[in-house]
């Protein structure tokens, strides 16, 4: 097991465990844009290095203005954080919910942060026949028992969205019971605009909703950390009141500003979405042919159930020995010991992944026949 800190993308632990140089390992355990940062961003950040002798803008004013324009909202509705995880921490600090509701399987940080800040947790579980979505009726029955509910849209690790009518029903129920609904849209940018399902346009009707988004994943800048929330101005002010001054550093703000100003002017964003769809469906088809059960996710990762007798951690170790990191999902509540998650990368890397996968499966079959 390489998720000793509870997340994928821990290349240092993997390198120590498998005895391989970090730079030579293919990381399928973290869900970043396979294209890497937008062309030109790294050169721009080099130009920004002299600015690190000054404090960053504590109000994130230029970045907030660009995000407001992109999201067609006001700057007062936005809170910019050191990654989406800080945004979640801020809302838990500001709201202090006694009980937090989770729809498992889900992003592990929901439970980690909730416990860290003293909230009790109530869980319901997604159904395999619903691609690990929970039944909406069960979600609505959970809501009166909690103070705050986290909901992934698309959800991690299964990558699925709830349809708009179901989201509205969940939001109406939360509103009626004065429950905060936190909708995590960290991976929504990987979905074509026409297929994204969001309640952002309904925020005036639902002052209890907080939408969390990430710039880390789509623009491949996890080392800089950049995320934000969209909510009512009053809710945003409550979150900002808990934020440590200068938590969003100068280079992170500069990267966000550059991406919003320049990446949209190139084919980077559309090519990312198109490539992701093509490669995701290719991986799904090939893995299904190899006997795996693959969740029909819409994001840039796939939840895969390995065929028996494979266990997630055994398979993770076998792939790691070949220099490929995959995310074991055996510790996710609601999933089996055979579940893993893989990122979607470009064709060259995906072919290498599949070749190693096939070889490992073949070696297992040979061992069984001996």
The pLDDT of residue 6: 47
Residues 6+ apart with CB under 8 A from 274: none
| DSSP secondary structure string for all residues of 315-370 | HHHHHHHTTEE-EE-TTSTTS-TTEEEEE---HHHHHHHHHHHHHHHHHHHHHHH-
> What are the structural domain ranges in the chain?
11-30+267-368, 41-263
Give the containing element (helix H, strand E) for 99. Answer: strand 99-104
Helix (H, G, I), strand (E, B) or coil at 128: helix
pLDDT of residue 2: 56
Q: Where are the alpha helices (DSSP H) in the chain?
A: 11-18, 41-48, 61-71, 84-95, 108-116, 136-142, 164-176, 233-240, 250-262, 268-289, 312-321, 347-369
What pLDDT is stored for residue 240 in this prediction?
A: 98
Tell me which residue of 168, 119, 159 sits closest to 140, measured CA to CA.
168
Q: What is the model's pLDDT at position 367?
A: 54
**Are 126 and 334 within 8 A, CB to CB?**
yes
CATH class held by domain 11-30+267-368: alpha beta
Binned average pLDDT, 10 residues per bin, the chain of 370 residues: 52 72 85 95 98 97 98 98 98 98 98 98 98 98 99 98 98 98 98 97 97 97 97 98 97 98 86 97 98 98 97 95 94 97 98 97 62
| 3-state secondary structure (DSSP) of residue 309 | coil
pLDDT tens for 170-199 read 999 999 999 999 999 999 999 999 999 999
CATH value of 41-263 in 3.40.50.10790, 2.40.50.100, 3.40.640.10, 1.10.3720.10: 3.40.640.10
Q: What is the pLDDT of residue 22?
A: 76
Helix, coil or strand: residue 305: strand
Position 77 scores a pLDDT of 99
The residue with tokens 């909703």 is: 209
Q: CA 303, CA 192: separation in Å to the nearest integer?
A: 20
The reported pLDDT for the residue numbered 21 is: 72
Give the model's pLDDT for residue 266: 78
Concatenated DSSP letters for 251-273?
HHHHHHHHHHHHGGGSSHHHHHH
Cα(257)–Cα(359) distance, rounded to whole angstroms? 44
Q: How far apart are CA 82 and CA 68, in angstroms?
A: 18
- What's the full length of the chain, in residues? 370
Per the CB < 8 A criterion, the answer to whether 59 and 284 are in contact is no
DSSP 289: H
- The DSSP 8-state label assigned to residue 306 in this structure reads P
At how many degrees (to 10) do helices 233-240 and 84-95 cross? 100
pLDDT given for residue 23 in this prediction? 75
Q: How far apart are the first and last CA of the chain?
A: 28
Q: Among 259, 246, 258, 257, which Cα is nearest to 54's?
A: 246
pLDDT digits (tens, 9 = 90+) for 134-184: 999 999 999 999 999 999 999 999 999 999 999 999 999 999 999 999 999
Whole-prediction pTM: 0.94
Residues 32 and 221 sit within 8 Å (Cβ to Cβ): no
The set of residues, in sequence order, having a beta carbon less than 8 Å from that of 244 and lying 6+ positions away, is none
Dist CA 37 CA 24 (whole Å): 19
Q: Are 158 and 188 in contact (CB under 8 A)?
A: no
């Amino acid at each position: 097991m390489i998720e000793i800190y509870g997340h994928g993308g821990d290349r240092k632990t993997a390198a120590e465990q498998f005895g391989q140089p970090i730079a030579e390992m293919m990381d399928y355990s973290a869900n970043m844009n396979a294209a890497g940062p937008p062309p030109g961003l790294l050169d721009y950040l080099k130009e920004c290095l002299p600015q690190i002798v000054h404090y960053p803008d504590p109000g994130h004013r230029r970045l907030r203005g660009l995000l407001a324009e992109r999201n067609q909202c006001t700057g007062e509705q936005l809170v910019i954080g050191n990654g989406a995880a800080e945004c979640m921490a801020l809302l838990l600090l500001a709201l202090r919910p006694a009980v937090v509701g989770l729809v498992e399987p889900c992003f592990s940080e929901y439970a980690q942060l909730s416990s860290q800040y003293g909230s009790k947790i109530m869980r319901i579980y997604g159904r395999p026949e619903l691609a690990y979505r929970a039944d909406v009726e069960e979600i609505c029955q959970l809501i009166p028992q909690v103070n705050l509910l986290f909901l992934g849209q698309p959800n991690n690790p299964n990558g699925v969205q709830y349809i708009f009518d179901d989201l509205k029903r969940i939001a109406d129920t939360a509103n009626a019971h004065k429950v905060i609904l936190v909708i995590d849209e960290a991976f929504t940018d990987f979905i074509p605009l026409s297929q994204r399902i969001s309640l952002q346009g309904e925020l005036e009707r639902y002052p209890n909703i907080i939408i969390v988004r990430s710039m880390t994943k789509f623009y491949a800048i996890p080392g800089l950390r950049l995320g934000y929330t969209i909510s009512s101005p009053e809710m945003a002010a409550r979150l900002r009141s808990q934020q440590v001054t200068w938590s969003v550093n100068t280079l992170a703000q500069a990267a966000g500003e550059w991406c919003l100003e320049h990446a949209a002017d190139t084919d980077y964003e559309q090519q990312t979405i198109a490539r992701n769809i093509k490669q995701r469906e290719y991986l799904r088809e090939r893995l299904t042919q190899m006997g795996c059960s693959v969740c029909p996710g819409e994001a840039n990762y796939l939840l895969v159930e390995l065929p028996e007798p494979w266990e997630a951690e055994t398979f993770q170790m076998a792939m790691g020995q070949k220099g490929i990191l995959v995310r074991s999902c055996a510790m996710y509540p609601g999933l089996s010991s055979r579940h893993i998650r893989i990122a979607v990368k470009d064709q060259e890397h995906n072919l290498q992944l599949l070749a190693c996968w096939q070889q490992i499966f073949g070696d297992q079959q040979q061992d069984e026949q001996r």
